[in-house]
Structure 1
Amino acid sequence: MQEIGLQTRFWNDWNASAREHAVHDVSLRQAEVVTGWLDRLEIRDAAILEAGCGSGWFCNHLSRYGSVTATDLSDEVLARASRRMPHIRFVPGDFMHLDFGAEKFDVVVTLEVLSHVEEQAAFVRKLADHLRPGGYLMMATQNRYVLENFNNVPPPATGQIRRWVDKGELRNLLENNFVVTELFTVSPKANKGLMRVVNSSRLNEPIRFLFGNRVERLKERLGFGWTIMALARK
């Protein structure tokens, strides 16, 4: 089991370098899906929990839909975020050991967190415990099938847990506590094998010119996205 101190140090450094001043297009696509769900479900004035908010880059967007509580191991990064965004309640610490008492939320958002926790089933149960009956879980997590087969990814660093899941594994994890209403992939990415050629900018630029994002969306629906997105209801 990874020591919490090592994880905290890793995520403070990673979020400071990778999320505090810029956000990757993979994360922006995840945010696009989540805000699309919030709009379609007509979520307003909701109590929202973001579990594993990183630098807090998504919190301002979520605050358009209600009051936001955001947690992360990155205590130093959250201290800076709280000064930039005093309207967000930032709670540093290990989500699995945070106690919100009887407080319940209408929506729980968690982006690319599941693969970085030791006990995934317990993490999903805790997400469900913090939701009101009928509340929504909006999750993004890395797609094991695509990362293992079509991408060379550096090994985990000290303090970084890595437990990717595929679509079937994610559905099984969620269905013990939720009714899964949507599950699909987004952001086709590849740096090895045939999918590297299929996703290359040289090939995709003329295709995008002719067809817009339709081909990218097709690859997402076929399961070739870097990220799995899941919408579920308690």
Structure 2
Amino acid sequence: MDKLSDPPISEQQKFWETWNAKMRDPEHLNDWCTKRADVIFRFFRSLRLENPEILDFGCGTGWLSEMLAKFGRVTGVDLAESAIATAKSRCPEGRFIAGDLFKIALPMNHYDVVVSQEVIAHVPDQPAYLERIANALKLGGHLIITTPNKFVIDRSDVFPPQPPEHLEKWLTIRDLKNLLRPRFKVLRTTSILPMGNRGVLRIANSTKIARLLSLFVSSDRIASLKEQLGLGYTMILLVQKKA
């Protein structure tokens, strides 16, 4: 549930400094990160861009920026100063800036691709956040955006409560598409990591039903179908800036 009031930016910064500390070592990247990155790069490769300008908007410790640098020139921004210091050492060929995402100076109509990985649910003004991205993108430029799926979160018991400085504004796929619609055209949509144990997801993720279906369809195919139907924990969208 969204909190009644947003925590001050200074408190949010403290939270993300602590959160990102565990992401400084590549060995701490979990399977969730890896699977999310796999889809991001599948979408990225489909664009067939040559030496693009890339913005990692909310880059954390730069683990994804380091991979993005293989495709083009990377700029990363993040609220947490210590995370940016790690990003600079991890990806020396990139350009990194620490500060408030709403106040950092960004060039207009400059980037070919913006990647926003698990950020939009943690900003106070989601329409303004997307407006910043749209203004930074070239006409026809692309945004790859990922965020947790409120439909799944509301039907799961596996997520512990977070401290009050952790801003949580969860979105459904419909919510996200509505936010994107004024400035972007949605090209591709998927989800990953099917889960949930309440409501319809109790049935969809039943181990008994899965065992029965496995007699006719592989478990990988079943998981893929759930992801395509939007039953995964993380939503991933490829969108394009409108003219």
- Same fold by TM (over 0.5)? yes
Partner of 1:20: 24
- State the identity as a percent: 32
Residue 101 of structure 1, CA deviation: 3.8
Residue pair 1:152, 1:192 contacting (<8 A) in 2 also = no
Residue pair 1:121, 1:173 contacting (<8 A) in 2 also = yes
The one of 2, 18, 24 aligned to 2:7 = 2
| Residues in 2 aligned to 1:205 and 1:69: alpha-carbon distance in whole angstroms | 46
Partner of 1:220: 227
- Listed as ranges, the matches of 1:1-234 within 5 Å are 1-17=6-22, 19-21=23-25, 22-102=28-108, 104-190=110-196, 195=201, 199=205, 207=214, 211=218, 213-234=220-241
Partner of 2:3: none
Letter in structure 2 aligned against 1:13: T
| Residues in 2 aligned to 1:167 and 1:130: alpha-carbon distance in whole angstroms | 24
Residue 186 of structure 1, CA deviation: 1.5
Residue 211 of structure 1, CA deviation: 2.0
Residue pair 2:108, 2:135 contacting (<8 A) in 1 also = no
Residue 60 of structure 1, CA deviation: 1.5
Letter in structure 2 aligned against 1:15: N
Q: If the length of structure 1 is used for normalisation, what is the TM-score? A: 0.90
Which sections of structure 2, spanning at least 5 residues, go unmatched? 1-5
Residue pair 2:60, 2:87 contacting (<8 A) in 1 also = no
| Residues in 2 aligned to 1:197 and 1:8: alpha-carbon distance in whole angstroms | 39
| Residues in 2 aligned to 1:202 and 1:60: alpha-carbon distance in whole angstroms | 42
RMSD between aligned residues:
2.3
| Residues in 1 aligned to 2:108 and 2:191: alpha-carbon distance in whole angstroms | 34
The SS at the match of 1:185 is strand
The SS at the match of 1:58 is helix
Cα distance change, pair 203–179 in 1 and its aligned pair in 2 (3 A)? same
List per-residue Cα deviations over 1:73-127 (Å, max 9, x = no partner): 1111211221232111111111111112446100000011000000001101111
Letter in structure 2 aligned against 1:217: S
Paired residues, number: 232
| Residues in 1 aligned to 2:106 and 2:192: alpha-carbon distance in whole angstroms | 32
Which structure has the highest helix share of the two? 1
| Residues in 2 aligned to 1:135 and 1:4: alpha-carbon distance in whole angstroms | 29
Which sections of structure 1, spanning at least 5 residues, go unmatched? none
Q: If the length of structure 2 is used for normalisation, what is the TM-score? A: 0.87
Cα distance change, pair 193–150 in 1 and its aligned pair in 2 (3 A)? farther
